[in-house]
Amino acid sequence: MDVVMLSRLQFAVTVFFHFIFVPLTLGLSVLLAVMESIYVCTGDEQYKRMAKFWGKLFLINFALGVVTGITLEFQFGTNWANYSHSVGDIFGSILAVEATLAFFLESTFIAVWHFGWDKVSKKVHCFAIWAVAVAGNLSALWIIIANGWMQNPVGSEFVAGKARLIDFFAVVGNPFAWSQYFHTILASWMLAAFFVLGVSAWHLARRNEREFFNNSFRLAAPFALVLAVLLALQGHSHGMTVTRYQPTKLAAMESLWETAKPAPMYLFVIPDEVNRRNSIEWLPLPGMLSFLAHGDFNSEVKGLNELGPRDFAEFQTKTTYDPSAPVTVLASGEKIEKPVAPEDAIPPVLLTFASFRLMVALGAVFLIVALLAFCWRNSIEERPGFARLLTWMIPIPYVAIMAGWTVAEVGRQPWIVYKLMLTVQGISSVPASSVLASLSAFVVVYSLLGIVDIYLLRKFALKGPAA
C-alpha cells in the first residue's frame, strides 16, 4: 500500500473514531438544555435529576471526544503538508475561527455547568448549558464550512498552485456547506434521541426508576420522530444540492454509468467498476432518479462515463496539470508516479454506492422505529420486546452517520479540493513506513479509548440516576 492510501486510511481512522463522540455530544447538549429549562420554568426536581444523570454521560463522551479530536488538525501538517501549504490561507483561517470562537466558548461554559450546580443561580446555570449547546453546534458549523469548501471551493482562486481567498462571506455562505451542516446536525440530534430512548427503555423494561425514565422517554420520543422526518426531507434536499454542485458524486451514489433521460432508479444494482457498467440492474422505477436529482421525472441525469472526462478537462484548464509528471517526492527520494487519466476521474463507485444505500435504508428504519416509540411512549413498560429493540438500536445511528460521511468523502475522490486539487497532490513528503507505523499506533490507542468510552457509558447508564 502506498503513502497516499495509507495517509487516507489514517485520516479516515482518526476522523471516524472522533466522530463516535461528536454526534452524541451535539445532540445530548441540546436535550440537556431542554431538560434544565423545564426544571427552571417548573421547579420540578425530577428534571434536575435528569439533567445531572444524562449530563454525566454527556461529560464522559465530551472528554473523550476532545482527546480524539486534537490529533486531527496535526495531520494536516504531518500527512498533508502540500495540501496545507496550498490552501492554508483559507482552510487554516476557518479552523482558527472554530477554535477561538466556538471551542473555547464551549470549554469555558461546560466547566461552569459541571462545577456550578447549587453555586450559581438556576438561570445562570441553565444559560451555561445552552451556551455549551450553541457553541458545540457552532463548532461543527465551522468545521463543516471548511469541509464544504473542499467539496465546493467558492470565494477563492488558485494562483500558481496556491489557493487565495477572494470573498470570505462566499466561503461562509457556501450553499453546499450549509446543506451538509443541516444534514449532519439533524442526524446527530436524532442519534442522541435514540440514545436516550435506548437507555430509558432498558431501565423501564426492568422497572427501574419508572417515573424518571418514563419522563426521559416521553421527552426523547417526539424529538426522535420530528428529527427522523426532518432528516429524510433534508436528505432529499441535500441530494439535489449534490446534483447541482457534484453531479459525479451523485452518479456514483446511484452507480449511473451512462447519461439517461429520463433516468430510472434500480432497487437492486451490482456495480462493475472494471468494465464501467452495472453487472445487474433489477426492478427499475422509471424516472425516479431524475425526480430525486432534479425534481422532474423527465430530466436528464449525467453518467460517470461522461462526467469523469469532463471534470478532468475542467481541472486541466484551471491548473495546467500534466498527467505525465510525478506528483510528489518522498523524503527518501522515491518518486510517486500517480498520473490520473481523464477516464479515472471518478470516485470508487462500489463503496460510495453501498454506503449511500445503507444510509438510506437505515433512515427508513429510523422513521418506523421513531414513529412506534412516539405512539407507544406511554406504554413502553408493557412492550418489553420493543424496549429491547430500542436498546439494541443505540449503535445503529452511528453506522448510518459513518456511511453518510463515507459517501461525502469517498464520493469526492480523486479530488481533495473538488476539481482544483488531486488528493495525491496534497500528500506530505514522508515514507510509507512512517505512515504505517503511526496508523498502527492510532488504531491501537483509539481502540483502547473506544473501549474506555463504551465501558464508562455502559457503567453509568446502567447504574441509573443518583438518589
Q: Pick the closest to residue 227 from 265, 187, 196, 267 (CA basis).
A: 187
**DSSP-based three-state secondary structure for 335:** strand
Q: Pick the closest to residue 348 from 424, 303, 407 (CA basis).
A: 407
pLDDT at 318: 78
> If pLDDT is split at 50, 70 and 90, which confidence band does 327 have?
low
What single letter denotes the amino acid at residue 252? A
Contacts of 123 (CB under 8 A, 6+ apart): 40
pLDDT at 371: 93
Check whether the bond before 414 is cis (ω within 30° of 0). yes
Q: Which three cell numbers stand for residue 382?
A: 408493557
Q: How far apart are CA 337 and CA 311, in angstroms?
A: 21
How distant, in Å, are the alpha carbons of 242, 248, 341 from that of 157? 21, 22, 24
Whether 62 and 21 have beta carbons less than 8 Å apart is answered as: yes
Task: Kindly tell me if the per-residue pLDDT of 423 is higher than 80.
Answer: yes
Q: How far apart are CA 268 and CA 282, in angstroms?
A: 5
Whether 122 and 39 have beta carbons less than 8 Å apart is answered as: yes
> If pLDDT is split at 50, 70 and 90, which confidence band does 100 have?
confident
Q: Where are the beta strands (DSSP E) in 191-333?
A: 265-272, 277-285, 328-329
Residue indicated by cell numbers 471516524 = 16
Whether 245 and 152 have beta carbons less than 8 Å apart is answered as: yes
Q: How far apart are CA 397 and CA 358, in angstroms?
A: 11
Residue indicated by cell numbers 487519466 = 341
The share of the chain scoring above pLDDT 90, in percent, equals: 12
pLDDT at 451: 86
Length of the chain: 467
**Domain spans, the chain:** 213-425
- Top-confidence residue, 321 or 187: 187
Mean per-residue pLDDT over the chain, rounded: 84
Q: How far is CA 10 from the centre of its chain?
A: 17
> If pLDDT is split at 50, 70 and 90, which confidence band does 331 have?
very low
Whether 287 and 264 have beta carbons less than 8 Å apart is answered as: yes
Angle between helices 122-151 and 81-97 (to 10 degrees): 150
The share of the chain scoring above pLDDT 70, in percent, equals: 95
Neighbours of 130 (CB within 10 A): 18
**DSSP-based three-state secondary structure for 421:** strand
Q: How far apart are CA 30 and CA 25, in angstroms?
A: 9
Check whether the bond before 309 is cis (ω within 30° of 0). no
